[in-house]
Each structure stands twice: as structure tokens, then as C-alpha cells.
Amino acid sequence: MRSRWVRRIGAGATMTVFCALFAAILAHGQASSEASGGDGTESGAGGSRVLLVLPFDNRTGQPNLEWVREAAAEILSARFASAGFQPTSRADRMYALDHLGLPQGFQPSRASAIKLAQTLDADSIVVGSYTTDGNGIVAVATLVDVPELRMLPEVRARGEMKDLVAVFGELAWKLTKQLDPNFNGSEETFAAAGNGIPLTAFEQYIRGITEPDQAERLRHLQNAVKLSPGFGQAWTALGREDYKGQQYQDAAEAFAKVDRNGPDGLEAGFYRGLSLVFSGDYPHAEEAFADVARVLPLAEVVNNEGVAESRQAKDGISLFIQAAAADPNAADYHFNLAVSLKHEGNLPGALNELAQCLKLRASDSEAQALNEAWKGKPAGASGTGAADPSADPLERIVRTFDETAFRQAAAMLDQMNTGRLASLTPRERAQRLCAQAKSFLDRGLLLEAERLYQDAVAADHASAPAHAGLAQVRERSGDADAARKEAHEALELGPSADAYLVLAQLDLTAGSLDEADTEAGDALRLDPASRAAQDLMRQIEAKRGR
């Protein structure tokens, strides 16, 4: 059974890894915190609550809508993650189904759903279905409390088929309110969170991750990124497919399109580094692994950075020492350190590390042969039948991304950010939260931005930037009244170009050109270099026909 990936240690990871990780992250300080895009909230909606969202039951009678089954689980899981819960990934669900001997398309009963949740150590399950009524889609979901073995009241949402993503966003908001009645996020933000992705692109993405045929997966994913060039999840999935097909240059290009601060940024950075190594582009591979290591310096990342350095005839010893210290029970890290030490002329140190490698993995024939060669024994004297090790081998690269370990480490990083915030004054805490929220807002991550701005207001209700940020979130979510209210509240607390811009945009949309002109002018006076204010002024002039 897979362990809970936030509270416990996943397969292949040890407590030593995370003790070393804590020390490494502490050394990075505030810079690492900001680079990570970690939310740093004082408390998430879900805390450590793990959710399993199952594919919905297709009750439309239309095979062409079968793709919505998986789409429902993807949308709800993404919204829950943004709200601070811990939804299990599709990969975790596939693992659990395989562990239980069930097919991927299995539609579980209540009893088997609970068994599946227990396999994943989930606290709650979401089960649901969807049907159509004319041009609309109706989605229904039920939340199952696994420890209590009880079902909460059913919730439902309806909308036009073209608004399918928003319909499931509304459903996610209602389920979130059941899970946490005190959750203060708005329904409008949940519904608007996926507005940047065209439905056609989202459909192609879902088909691309569920098709059994690899060529068809590639075709759908390529269509998805053509329809929506900024679709990070689709680029990540396309990169995975190219990587599996050993199309390493294509994979590196796909992974490079993924926002490094987004939810898939670490995985994309890691596999981009691998793709570049296998393409022979060691300098850029080194940069890719270093970018990931600055946020989460896990052993496999640091090791691969050392490999990329050593392939350029550089000294990677310090990185291999760091990797071996982070995970001393991994034989390959000791092997790599041994090879690098030998390159630098430190034979005693190399033999010591090679001995450690063989202690951990006695059957390693390459290490056995190398040990004999370095000690001056004839090749194959031990009877291992190993190849002639007259030339020292290359350092070994870790080829797999341990998603569980990365999530655990990211959760630890968030906990550390929370600890740092707790030591600040309320005003300083609000300022830090607003800065982090703005980075999410600039990337279009409305739910994450809203949650941090809400925390900033809770820390310091007199924070004008927090209210101005909430005004921007509300305006982008289509809640004009709430946006106007937050903007006015921000201006009562102090001058704010962002608040004036929200009011100007609202008045421009409402046709109140004089008010919009005044507000855009006020924003420009506060921030003369504001591109947004300049663009608004041009739009106002265009509306007036000048």
C-alpha cells in the first residue's frame, strides 16, 4: 500500500533525505521560499486532508462524452489542490487500481470505492455522475467520509455544455464548502479558474492522457497545445510521451514550455534535465537540474546535476557528496562519488566510497570489477565475469522522478514557509502574503491568489494591497459588485493603482467612460509606467472615437 504522501515517507525515500532537505532549504532562506511559489498560508482549507476523486459515471448515453468521466476528476482535483486540500493524482489512482487488480476504466461501487480510498490512505472520496438535458450538462456528486463510512448530502451543478469546466468548478466549490464550512473562497473564482483553457483544448488533453494507443495520445496532446499554447498540463503530458518514446529533444522543448513555478514545474524541470542529458546538451541539463535543486534539493536532483557537470569534465564531487549525505542508503550515489574522487586522484577516498556502494548492493558487478581494478587485481579475479574495467565508467544518472517524494518535500517547504510567516508581525505577514499572491495572480492562478489575499486580510485587515488584490481576483472572476467593494475598501486605506485599475475596467465595461478615464488617470499618476493603465486609456479613447 502506498503511504500517505504528506504525513509519511513514500517508497524509496527515507527520513534522512528529508532531514538533509530541511537543512538545505533553511540554508536557502527567504529566496528559496519565493522561488518555490509555495503558498506560505497560515492554514489551508484542508490541512492534511487527502481526497480521492473518482472518474464520474457517464449517464448521458453518448459515447462521445465518455471523455468527461476523467475530465470531472481532473477539474475537481485541481480545484481542491488550489483550495489547500491534498487530492491524490491520477497516477496514484492508477497505481491503486493495479494494486487491487482492477481495470483502469473500472466504475467502483460504494464498497470498492472505500477499499480503493483505504489503499491510498484517503480521508474522503468524491463519486459522481453526469447527464445532459438539451444543450446543458448536469453534474451530481457525493462526498464519502471514509473513516466514518458515511455519505454527505448530494450536491449538483448545471450549465451549458460549452461551460463544462465552470460547471465542475461550481461543483468543486459546493463540495469544498461541505468539507470546510469556514472556507472563504468565492464560487465565482472556482467557476472562473479554468477560463483560460478552451474547452476544445481541454478535451484534447483529457483524450491525450487516457488513450491506450501511444500515437493517439501524442496526436491529441499536440492538438491540445496548438489550441492553447499556454496549457502547462498538456505540455507536461506531451513531454512525458516524447520522453517515453526517446524523442529527447522534443521532450526537452515541451518541458521548457511549462511554468517552472506552476504545479508541474518541478517535474517538468527534472525531466527536461534528463532529456537534455540524453540529447548530449550537458550545460543546459546542468541548469535545468540546478533550477529544481534551488527549490527542492532532493538527492536525485543534486546527483543528476553532478552528472551533468562531470560530463563537461567539471568537478561534481561536492554535489555527489550532497546527494550521498541526503540519501546514504542509495548505492549509486556512493558509486558516483567514488568515480569522481578517482578522477581527481583521490584513490583512498574513491575505494572507501566504492566499499560503501558494495556494502549496500553486494551484487553490483560493475562496482566489484572496478574495486578489483583500482586495487590492482586482475580483471575478473573474483569470478564475477564483469567486463574489463580498464577505463573508469561514467557516473550514474537517476532516471525516474519520485513524485511522492517531491510532494512530501514541497509540503515540508510549505510548512517551513508557514513557520517563517508566524514569526513576522501582522503587517509584515500581510506584505509577504500579498507578494506571493501577486505571483499567482500574474500567472492566472485565481484560486491560489484569492486564498493568499484572504490570509493577508486576516493577518492585517488594514492592508490596502490585500484588498486591491482581492478586487483584481473578483474582477477577473466576473463578480463586478464584489470587485468594486474591495477596490473602494482598498482606496479608503490608502492610494492604490491596482484598485483604480479595477474600477476603471469595471466602468469601461459598464460604458461609464468619464469615470473610467478619471480612474485610469489616477492609476497612471500613481504608477506612470503601468502598461495596464496605458492600455485602458487607449481603450477609453477608442470608445470615444478619438
Give me the pLDDT at residue 492, please: 94
Mean pLDDT of 150-162: 92
Using CB atoms within 10 Å of the CB of residue 362, give its burial: 0 to 12 exposed, 13 to 18 middle, 19+ buried. exposed
Alpha-carbon span 490 to 177, nearest angstrom: 27
Mean pLDDT of 179-195: 83
Compute φ and ψ for 132, nearest 5 degrees.
-120, 155
Alpha-carbon span 253 to 231, nearest angstrom: 14
Indicate if the alpha-carbon torsion angle 375, 381, 384, 389 is positive or negative: positive
Place of cell 537517476: 398
In the predicted structure, residue 13 carries a pLDDT above the cut 60: no
Give me the pLDDT at residue 304, please: 96
Give me the pLDDT at residue 105, please: 64
In the predicted structure, residue 220 carries a pLDDT above the cut 90: yes
Place of cell 533553511: 26
If one compares 138 and 187, the residue with the highest pLDDT of the two is 138
Give me the pLDDT at residue 148, please: 81
186's grid cell: 468565492
Which H helix or E strand runs over 106? none
DSSP labels, 420-488: HHHTS-HHHHHHHHHHHHHHHHHTT-HHHHHHHHHHHHHH-TT-HHHHHHHHHHHHHHT-HHHHHHHHH
Q: How many CB atoms lie within 10 A of CB 157?
A: 22
N- to C-terminal Cα distance for the chain?
A: 68
If one compares 44 and 378, the residue with the highest pLDDT of the two is 378
Alpha-carbon span 404 to 296, nearest angstrom: 13
Using CB atoms within 10 Å of the CB of residue 12, give its burial: 0 to 12 exposed, 13 to 18 middle, 19+ buried. middle
Alpha-carbon span 456 to 435, nearest angstrom: 10
Alpha-carbon span 480 to 192, nearest angstrom: 13
Compute φ and ψ for 80, nearest 5 degrees.
-65, -40
Domains and CATH numbers, the chain: 1-40+192-280+404-423 (1.25.40.10), 46-182 (3.40.50.10070), 299-401 (1.25.40.10), 424-543 (1.25.40.10)
Give me the pLDDT at residue 178, please: 93
Mean pLDDT of 469-475: 93
> pLDDT per residue over 253-268, tens digit each?
999 999 887 778 888 9
Q: Where are the beta strands (DSSP E) in 55-178?
A: 57-58, 86-87, 124-133, 136-145, 150-151, 155-160
* Residue 288 neighbours by CB under 8 Å, 6+ apart: 269, 270, 272, 273, 276
143 bridge partner residues: 126
Write b or e for each residue in 384-415: b if 16 or more Cβ atoms lie within 10 A of its Cβ, otherwise e: bebeebeeeeebbbbeebbbbbbbbbbbbbbe
CA nearest neighbour of 496 among 451, 527, 540, 532: 527
If one compares 194 and 71, the residue with the highest pLDDT of the two is 71
CA nearest neighbour of 282 among 236, 327, 313, 251: 313
Give me the pLDDT at residue 403, please: 64
Mean pLDDT of 457-471: 93
If one compares 48 and 510, the residue with the highest pLDDT of the two is 510
> pLDDT per residue over 53-77, tens digit each?
989 999 999 999 999 999 999 999 9
> pLDDT per residue over 278-288, tens digit each?
999 999 999 99
Give me the pLDDT at residue 102, please: 67
Alpha-carbon span 301 to 405, nearest angstrom: 12
- Give the pTM: 0.75
> pLDDT per residue over 382-409, tens digit each?
444 444 445 678 899 998 776 666 666 6
